[in-house]
């Protein structure tokens, strides 16, 4: 299934770049990756959705779960998304009010 995950580190943030389609078939891999990051001590995470072509409610649920997880460690989760079709999913579910959202990874890691 088409999902690409790539982790790098920047300025104390773990940056998870996601590409492809996030649905109920691929979301478990995203969830596992995020849990691994938190368990490895990364409590400040940027999820870069810039190369995501499709995101459904399962994907939103995984991101909500990750936000909850980092918060129990006093951490932070920021999302990078500038694609209107993906932003729309956050907007219509009201989740833009729940997540810190940025237009680029640069902006996300600079915000404090």
Partner 1 sequence: MDEVVELELPARPDVLALARLVVGAVVAGEPLFDEERIDDLRLAVSEACTNAIEAQQGRNGDDGDQRPILVRCRLASGRVEVEVRDHGGGFDQAGLSLHPPVTDPSRLHYERGLGIPLIRMLSDSVEFRRTADGTAVIMIFEPRPLPDPKPIT
Q: Summarize as ranges the residues that interact with partner 1 (CB under 8 A).
A: 1-2, 21, 23-25, 54, 56-58, 60-62, 64-65, 67-68, 71, 84-85, 88-89, 92-95, 97-98
Please report how close the Cβ of residue 8 comes to partner 1 at its closest, in angstroms: 26
Please report how close the Cβ of residue 72 comes to partner 1 at its closest, in angstroms: 10
Please report how close the Cβ of residue 109 comes to partner 1 at its closest, in angstroms: 23
Closer Cβ to partner 1, 18 or 60, answer by number: 60
**Cα–Cα distance between 55 and 72 in angstroms, integer?**
25
Closer Cβ to partner 1, 95 or 100, answer by number: 95
């Amino acid at each position: 299934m088409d999902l690409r995950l790539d982790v790098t580190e920047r300025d104390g943030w773990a940056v998870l770049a996601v590409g492809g389609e996030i649905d109920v078939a691929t979301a478990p891999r995203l969830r596992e990756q995020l849990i691994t990051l938190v368990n490895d001590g990364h409590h400040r995470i940027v999820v870069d959705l810039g190369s995501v072509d499709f995101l459904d409610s399962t994907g939103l649920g995984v991101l909500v779960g990750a936000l909850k997880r980092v918060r129990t460690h006093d951490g932070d989760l920021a999302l990078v998304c500038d694609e209107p079709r993906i932003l729309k999913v956050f907007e219509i579910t009201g989740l833009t009010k729940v997540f810190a959202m940025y237009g680029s990874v640069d902006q996300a890691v600079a915000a404090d």
